Structure 1
Amino acid sequence: MESSTDTLRLNDTKLFKVIKETVPGDGTETLNIIEIRDNVLYVWNSNDSCILTLNVGAARGKTGDEIVYQTLLLTDPPTYEVTNLQINETTTQLAIWGNCGIAVVELPKRWGKDALFQGGKEVISCRSHSLDERLFHCSVVTEVRRVRWHPASTKDCHLLVLTSQNTFNLYECEPNGGQSLIKTWTVGPAFSSPAKIPSPASLGETAVDFDFATPTLRPEIDRKDTQSKDVDWNDIEWPILVLKGNGNVYTVHGNILNGKGEKPVVTGPLSIYPRTHDNYGVDSCSIMCLQTTPPLVVVATNTGKVYHSILLQEKFEDDEKTSWSQYGSTFSLHTPEDALYVYECVEMELGLGFWDIEKKYSCPVHLHVDRGNSSRYFCSHNAGIHVVNLPMVSQLADFIQAPDDDSNLFLPSLSTQSSSQYLVCTKTKSSLKAAPVLGFGLLQEPCIMIALLHTGTVVSLSVVDLYYLPTPMPLEPVTSPSKKITKEAFDTYIKSLLRHNVSQPILKFGSTTESMPQEVLQLLLRATEVFRSEHFARHNKVRTEIAKRVRTLRALKTHQLKELELLAEQKKKLQEVAERLAERYEDMKDQQEELARRAEEVLWLANQRQPSMSVAEKEEANEFKKISSKTKELIQQLEKLKYKEKYQSEQLANCHKLEANKNIIISTAREDTIKTNLKEISAKISNLMSTVKSLEEEVLS
């Protein structure tokens, strides 16, 4: 039974056996000490104050000792209780935080087999830094409410922190560098009473959560100029949606990452339409903004209600668009330009076995975005885990992608409402003690939910999206999606039949939970009724449809087999006819070649027997005469050249003979004269030499 709720068999790994020993049994609040990014799972070990990591993708198919995990030791471990892990987009830094402090851990590099940290070392020392621990000490009023990495940070090193004093702190955590507080601003009044026990006066006025909306151009930027040139990164701002406990939503505008001392502008509270007397609840706990166009805002309350709204710009008159002060001179708010338009409310069942409305269980609901599927998100709380599907996302995408000149342009419809599915239940009516979820993460492709329960047990389930309808890709461009007519696929039809409004979650209770036999029977009857009305009836209908489809396909198969037999016979006949035609073609080709050859012989003989020459033959004869005359001339010239060559060779031979017989003869008178001159020259040389010697002796003396 354990393997049915643990498809990855993570409970058998050494990592979660260690974590199971460190899980506190007296926890009362839902935490998130699990983070998953790039198939790597990070878990906080509270006993040893370290982080345990496991490459889940590489561990698939392995068992026992083959599955290894790594330990990341912190150089400056936190002294407070860690309740959440938050990793940045580039997976270079990990923020660990609790109510009393925040720390940033620099993650090591990954390489080698299975892409492990530092090639697979078991224990790795990681540099960690605490951020202003003096501000978040448990004895001080200030506590941490929410921590998120800023998506617009170019180095992915800016951390935004919301405190219980309605204050935002922006930290710059440079890798291999220092951490510094670069900006601080408030979104409401500060309270002197402890945040754990709020006074009635301050109840609901404390900011409990925030999230980043879709990026927009700054209001002072001229949009016409930006169309003709590239937009600078500093001209884009990421508005921040801030949720307070009373349900009010505020926005923070301005490029807070700009280091020029620009002060963020706080606007709000946003108008919520349609208006209600209770402002959609006074116990809001978390907010999430889906990055769609326009953005969808999800607000959850402690009672299990989740409100879905669209963030749109609100039209004002010129005299209404003014600034006003709500909290005196120290904190001022501006009139918001946006508004929330609530289009539906989804109510989740927090625990099973509650029939009395007055005794419904309430607890904080934490929202988790699905990075692989924007049409759904997850909720974790003390009573388990829910998944909520949002058909509005795909409808908005079709509406935005439709061309402007489409005459059949349609608005998103509310006919297909959002629905919630109870995946894991950890609490019933008899469970007086809270059973929180300690960790939640999603493994993408395929989507597998990994949750760490209060008992130390890990639940890993494949999450099937029955509400996802695949869009058939057209073979050629289509001008308008509203004009496109496609046949619904059979698997889509089966998924639509399997949809159900009521779900039966997996029950995971603590070992100390005592259930009354009557309540156990009621839970069993409820599960039986759910399976009978929602699951079995739909499965029977699906079985009937599949059987009908099978009968149709079998009939088609039988007909197609007969058609294949007929086609095979026709193919055989066509092959025989083709062979006969090929033989006839070869015979006809041989006969044609023989006839062509005979025709050429006849023409040649006819030309030979003509009494006179043809014009072409006459031209050729004249050419031959010219060629013969030129040949004779060339022969004569060649003979002349040979005669000249013979004469030249004879003359050269005679010259060589004369030069060989020629001798030099000098007369006696000339010989005597030459001798006399040589004697005189030698005498002069000897006189000169004696003169030189005498001069040298005089110089030396």
Structure 2
Amino acid sequence: MSIQKFRDAIENHTIFHQLEWNNADDSVSDKPQQLMHIHDGSLYVWDNQNSCLNVVSLAKAQDHQDDDIQKLKCSPPPTFDVKRIIFNSSGTRVALVGDKCAAVLVLPERWRQSKQGSHTYCKCLPVAERYFRTSVSVKVLEAAWHPGSPGDNHLCLLLSDNTLRVFQTGADLQSPVQLHKLGQQSASVSRFSLSSSRFSINSVTGEVVVSFAFARPVIVQEKSKTKLRRQKTGDATSAQLYPIYLLQGNGDILLLLTSCSDSRYRRGILQGPLIMKPPAEDNYGVDACSILVLDCTPTVLAIATSSGRVHHCVALASDDDYDSEDDISESQSTRSWPASVLSVKSKGAATEFIAPTLYVYETVELGSEINRDEEDRNYVDVSVALYRDPLLYCRYHSCSKFGIQAVVLPWMDKIASYFEADDDDKDVLNDLSQARPCAVEHIICTKPSSTNRESAIKGVAFATNPLFGPSMLCLTADKRCTVLALLTVLKPVSAPLPLEEISSEQTSVESAMSRSLNSWDFEEHVRSILQRDYTQPLLRYDASMGDTLIDSEACRLITRVTQIIRNEYILKQTLANHAIMKRLDFLKQQEVKQRNDLRALMDSKFNLMDTAGDLAEKYEECCDRREILSKRLEVVMKHAQSKATVLSKAEEKMERDLKKMDDKMRYLKNRVEQVRAKYDYQVKESRPANALSSPTKAANPNLVQNFKDILSEEGQKIEDLVKKLNQMKVAIDS
């Protein structure tokens, strides 16, 4: 589903037309309400008249069917008007917060399996009902679910009596499991006093905490034992605590470390006010109203004031925070707070730790140019609520009775890179000095004129479904829901994608090209031209009371809008167009030059190819001649070696072997002659003996045959030796 279809489906959905609420309280309190929330692809809208949550699936919102709306009714219903609904991270419990009361709505586990359009009754548990009834002047300033709750069931309430109370829904909700006193209270005033003078002094001086926000958890380690003893015993004294930044009305900030699982820190560790640098005479405003901690490292805080200013602070550790005996190294002492492990010291019942220092990076104005006169530039004091952006950690949204603004902090990436880099890396420091300031985009204006009644904002929700893209939903008092796409020209640097393995030569070439291209980034130049100082928001005002713009105000409004569109949109787009056309002409000239260079290179390439062909032919001819000369050289060397007077070692060895064979042949020849002589002698001697002894008797045939065999074998050996000797003589002569 596209964003346009999704916008039409949501803005025309019947879930908003069925709502009924009392708009009379909007003029009394200027604090924005939060009666809408999106969780797991479902839209939740609170209906004060019927005391129920209307739920519809965003994926099925385009069907425009009334039967798709499910109603989660409270049993029993709350006895107060709900101003804010706050879901826990798992979506199983909803905090219903009013001005002076609070309750917890427990959602059934299988309510989603119910039939579409059905009614589901949910258990509604009042929180500290007896305390709120007896303390009439106490108000609920802010509420939030504790992120460190093991069962995701700890609700934190900030009350106007300067206390932060933590309730557990699985236990007794009438008494808190944790009670943190954030300031001095007057003991002389009765608890049952109906007057509002109990906290008047603290309220006037601004010593009452008006807002709080959770930060990322930290690991703390007690230093009650020495390091050597801790290593021997192996005692683990570390714990995970959640920092809570508490904002007072006078601009001071307190820091509270709490834990819902570790009983040692249930009382909390309170420090403050924190040091803010550079110091200011007015302490950066005495009308602080809201605080927001962005999800990043180092910790970045946004402190909003009723005058329409927001201070961006970075929490860092000082140079003298840690000594040499601490577990934190010296290199980490100047890093972001906390660096790795936070050390705490126990002094009896009290526990102390090294608090961070807040460095104010910049201050931004949230005022709208739509509702300001040329002569009157004063901003009306109004309460501001800050919301995190679910997509970009470097962006948040501010909501007031004048509308909604989006604030983008492009320098947060540079800050993170600076703390992750080495101390000797000067390029990161240079990039940080060149970081752009924050940009404010006015998205929705709910008070276009000073005489018009503003259209109170009833809820802000963010949809991150990939089917229709990231969107923001804004519900106003006239039962209109405005859907806007979360788009901005400022985006954080994305992580590099994994690349395939390439050769070192190609890598060096690409790195050189990237350095040459990044030396002057034209895209950044165009972005700087298109950067708007003011934006034209979407106008929304409450026309249900019959308020209409008079001619002078309408003319002024049209003139102001026209001026903003002309100066911030048309003019800057014209300048960007001129820059792009100039860049295009330059690129065309470079293209012509590069084509000429390419043509010259092609001619040189053809010449080099012809020269390479000639060289190849000459090389083949040289190879053939080398083979012929090699063969002739072998013949010459053979003849020269054969005529050489000096024999080689192989020839000398062969000569010695031939001499030995010759001597052996002579020896064998003498033996053969001796054998023949003996044979002749024996034959000669045997004839007379045989004739005299037995003339008639014949010789023994076996003895004759044996003599013949022996003689034939000896003759064969002699013949073989003679052949070998002749062959050796022939070999020597050649």
Q: Normalising by structure 1, what TM-score? A: 0.68
Shift of 1:24: 2.5
CA distance in 2, matches of 1:119, 1:67: 9
Which residue does 1:181 correspond to in 2?
176
Q: Residues 315 and 337 of structure 1 are in contact (CA less than 8 Å); yes or no, is this contact kept in structure 2?
A: no
Is the counterpart of residue 343 in structure 1 residue 377 in structure 2? no
Q: Residues 449 and 463 of structure 1 are in contact (CA less than 8 Å); yes or no, is this contact kept in structure 2?
A: yes
Is the counterpart of residue 386 in structure 1 residue 390 in structure 2? no
| 1:240-292 deviations in Å (ceiling 9; x for gaps) | 11111111111112435423574212111111111111101111000011121
Which residue does 1:526 correspond to in 2?
560
Is the counterpart of residue 536 in structure 1 residue 570 in structure 2? yes
CA distance in 2, matches of 1:252, 1:262: 11
| 1:79-117 deviations in Å (ceiling 9; x for gaps) | 111111111111121111112211111223469xxxx45
Is the counterpart of residue 59 in structure 1 residue 60 in structure 2? yes
Which residue does 1:466 correspond to in 2?
489
Partner of 2:26, secondary structure, is: coil
Which residue does 1:632 correspond to in 2?
none
Which residue does 2:207 correspond to in 1?
205
Partner of 2:563, secondary structure, is: helix
Is the counterpart of residue 142 in structure 1 residue 138 in structure 2? yes
Which residue does 2:447 correspond to in 1?
427
Which residue does 1:619 correspond to in 2?
none
| 1:600-637 deviations in Å (ceiling 9; x for gaps) | xxxxxxxxxxxxxxxxxxxxxxxxxxxxxxxxxxxxxx
Which residue does 1:440 correspond to in 2?
460
Shift of 1:311: 0.9
Which residue does 1:88 correspond to in 2?
88
CA distance in 1, matches of 2:587, 2:321: 64
CA distance in 2, matches of 1:280, 1:394: 25
Shift of 1:205: 1.6
When residues 543 and 194 of structure 1 are mapped into structure 2, their CA distance, relative to the original with a 3 A threshold, is farther
Q: Residues 377 and 388 of structure 1 are in contact (CA less than 8 Å); yes or no, is this contact kept in structure 2?
A: yes
Q: Residues 5 and 460 of structure 1 are in contact (CA less than 8 Å); yes or no, is this contact kept in structure 2?
A: no
CA distance in 2, matches of 1:234, 1:387: 39
Which residue does 1:285 correspond to in 2?
289
After alignment, is 189-198 or 467-476 more displaced? Answer: 189-198
- Unpaired runs of 5+ residues, structure 2, are 324-348, 502-506, 603-734
Shift of 1:136: 2.2
Q: Residues 126 and 173 of structure 2 are in contact (CA less than 8 Å); yes or no, is this contact kept in structure 1?
A: no
Residues paired across the two proteins, number = 540
- What RMSD in Å do the two structures reach over aligned CA positions? 4.2
Candidates 125, 131, 152, aligned match of 2:127:
131
Percent identity over the alignment? 26
CA distance in 1, matches of 2:548, 2:25: 16
Which residue does 2:532 correspond to in 1?
500
After alignment, is 542-551 or 46-55 more displaced? Answer: 542-551
Partner of 2:429, secondary structure, is: coil
Shift of 1:373: 0.8
Partner of 2:462, secondary structure, is: strand
When residues 6 and 246 of structure 1 are mapped into structure 2, their CA distance, relative to the original with a 3 A threshold, is farther
Q: Residues 38 and 463 of structure 2 are in contact (CA less than 8 Å); yes or no, is this contact kept in structure 1?
A: yes
CA distance in 1, matches of 2:33, 2:385: 9
Partner of 2:569, secondary structure, is: helix
CA distance in 2, matches of 1:45, 1:187: 34
Which residue does 1:678 correspond to in 2?
none
CA distance in 2, matches of 1:457, 1:231: 60
CA distance in 2, matches of 1:376, 1:14: 32
Amino acid at match of 1:12: N
Q: Residues 448 and 540 of structure 2 are in contact (CA less than 8 Å); yes or no, is this contact kept in structure 1?
A: no
CA distance in 1, matches of 2:263, 2:350: 22
Q: Residues 211 and 247 of structure 2 are in contact (CA less than 8 Å); yes or no, is this contact kept in structure 1?
A: yes
Shift of 1:216: 1.4
| 1:142-162 deviations in Å (ceiling 9; x for gaps) | 211111111111221111111
After alignment, is 401-410 or 362-371 more displaced? Answer: 401-410
Q: Normalising by structure 2, what TM-score? A: 0.65
When residues 231 and 294 of structure 1 are mapped into structure 2, their CA distance, relative to the original with a 3 A threshold, is farther
When residues 493 and 415 of structure 1 are mapped into structure 2, their CA distance, relative to the original with a 3 A threshold, is closer
Q: Residues 35 and 440 of structure 1 are in contact (CA less than 8 Å); yes or no, is this contact kept in structure 2?
A: yes
| 1:174-199 deviations in Å (ceiling 9; x for gaps) | 39x98862111200123658569963
After alignment, is 155-164 or 342-351 more displaced? Answer: 342-351
CA distance in 1, matches of 2:226, 2:273: 27
Which residue does 1:258 correspond to in 2?
262
CA distance in 2, matches of 1:496, 1:542: 9
CA distance in 2, matches of 1:403, 1:223: 31
When residues 260 and 337 of structure 1 are mapped into structure 2, their CA distance, relative to the original with a 3 A threshold, is closer
Which residue does 1:166 correspond to in 2?
162
| 1:582-608 deviations in Å (ceiling 9; x for gaps) | xxxxxxxxxxxxxxxxxxxxxxxxxxx
CA distance in 2, matches of 1:316, 1:472: 35
Shift of 1:482: 14
Is the counterpart of residue 311 in structure 1 residue 315 in structure 2? yes
Shift of 1:119: 5.9
After alignment, is 440-449 or 206-215 more displaced? Answer: 440-449
When residues 544 and 362 of structure 1 are mapped into structure 2, their CA distance, relative to the original with a 3 A threshold, is same
- Unpaired runs of 5+ residues, structure 1, are 320-330, 568-701
CA distance in 2, matches of 1:132, 1:94: 16
Amino acid at match of 2:178: K
Taking the TM superposition and a 5 Å limit, the aligned residue runs for 1:102-121 are 102-109=102-109, 116=112, 118=114, 120=116
Q: Residues 307 and 381 of structure 2 are in contact (CA less than 8 Å); yes or no, is this contact kept in structure 1?
A: yes
Shift of 1:429: 4.2
Which residue does 1:517 correspond to in 2?
551
| 1:383-425 deviations in Å (ceiling 9; x for gaps) | 1111111112211232244356746442633641012111111
Amino acid at match of 1:202: S
Q: Residues 98 and 144 of structure 1 are in contact (CA less than 8 Å); yes or no, is this contact kept in structure 2?
A: yes
Partner of 2:535, secondary structure, is: coil
CA distance in 2, matches of 1:109, 1:463: 32
When residues 161 and 536 of structure 1 are mapped into structure 2, their CA distance, relative to the original with a 3 A threshold, is same
Amino acid at match of 1:39: G
Q: Residues 137 and 196 of structure 2 are in contact (CA less than 8 Å); yes or no, is this contact kept in structure 1?
A: yes
After alignment, is 128-137 or 363-372 more displaced? Answer: 128-137
CA distance in 2, matches of 1:269, 1:196: 25
Shift of 1:553: 9.9
